[in-house]
């Protein structure tokens, strides 16, 4: 298998994107079947099918950001004091390989490893998907290719996240609940939880 189809669900909450990784699939057909199974579940049924995205990635190929990045923010420096503190506390920390439990799908499925770079810009999380790899070692090699590039080199290695996903295993299979939290600016933000955790 040389390609993988990633499915995400995305919608906007108080001017930022809420993104859920649904799964990594061996074909576009399997990915579309997973979307159909989720459409009627709690949380997902509030949104149209267009909020699901299906993207094809070639395994072990760096997808984007090969030249690094530059982040321009209106009003000056992209960091506030909290981010500067975070950077100082995590400087030199190793990047993280996140453990993930199986959801719906084959119990003995192979895994792919999604590499992301995540850091905070003021109150928002800036996320970049670097690529999808067939082993944790291949993802680790990608980290070494990127951590010295413009933009990436200004953040600690802990900002690289390697996430294992079982092929053809679907996550968020019980839907989700959107818990509203008021902010200081009197806006309403959502915190999504798996539906089974929500007590209405």
Per-residue model confidence as pLDDT tens digits over 27-76: 999 999 999 999 999 999 999 999 999 999 999 999 888 889 886 554 44
State the pLDDT confidence band at 171, using cuts at 50, 70 and 90: very high
CA angle 23, 28, 31 (to 5 degrees): 35
What Å distances lie between residue 1 and 4, 13, 21, 169, CA to CA?
8, 36, 21, 16
**Phi then psi for 101, rounded to 5 degrees?**
-85, 155
- C-beta separation of 66 from 134 below 8 A: no
Q: Sort 18 into a burial class: Cβ within 10 Å, 0-12 / 13-18 / 19+.
A: middle
Predicted local distance difference test score (pLDDT) of residue 70: 81
Per the model's pLDDT, the better-predicted residue between 65 and 8 turns out to be 8
- C-beta separation of 54 from 24 below 8 A: no
| pLDDT at 178 exceeding the cut of 60 | yes
Rg over CA atoms, the chain: 18
Encoded tokens for 197? 């955790």
According to DSSP, the β-strands at 188-194 and 176-182 are antiparallel
The continuous run of DSSP H or E covering 90 comes out as: helix 81-90
| pTM summary value | 0.72
pLDDT tens digit sequence for 114-162: 999 998 877 677 889 999 999 999 999 999 999 999 999 988 999 999 9
| pLDDT at 185 exceeding the cut of 60 | no
Alpha helices in 118-177 (DSSP H): 136-146
Residue-range domain boundaries for the chain: 63-166
- C-beta separation of 168 from 187 below 8 A: no
Highest mean pLDDT among 14-18, 93-97, 181-185: 14-18
The continuous run of DSSP H or E covering 200 comes out as: none
| pLDDT at 18 exceeding the cut of 90 | no
Percentage of residues in the chain with pLDDT exceeding 90?
Answer: 53
């Amino acid at each position: 298998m040389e390609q993988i189809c990633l499915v995400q669900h995305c919608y906007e909450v108080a001017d930022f994107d809420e993104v859920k990784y649904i799964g990594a699939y061996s074909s576009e057909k399997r990915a579309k079947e997973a979307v159909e199974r989720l459409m009627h579940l709690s949380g997902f049924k509030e949104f149209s099918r267009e909020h699901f995205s299906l993207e094809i990635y070639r395994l072990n190929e760096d997808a984007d950001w090969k030249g690094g990045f530059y982040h321009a923010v209106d009003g000056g420096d992209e960091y506030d004091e909290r981010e500067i503190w975070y950077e100082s506390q995590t400087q030199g920390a190793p990047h993280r390989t996140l453990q993930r439990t199986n959801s719906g799908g084959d119990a003995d499925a192979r895994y792919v490893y999604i590499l992301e770079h995540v850091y905070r810009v003021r109150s928002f999380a800036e996320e970049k998907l670097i690529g999808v790899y067939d082993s944790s070692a291949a993802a680790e090699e990608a980290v070494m290719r990127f951590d010295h590039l413009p933009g990436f080199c200004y953040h600690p290695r802990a900002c690289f996240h390697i996430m294992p996903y079982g092929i053809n295993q679907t996550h968020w299979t019980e839907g989700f609940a959107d818990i509203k939290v008021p902010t200081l600016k009197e806006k309403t933000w959502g915190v999504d939880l798996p539906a089974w955790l929500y007590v209405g």
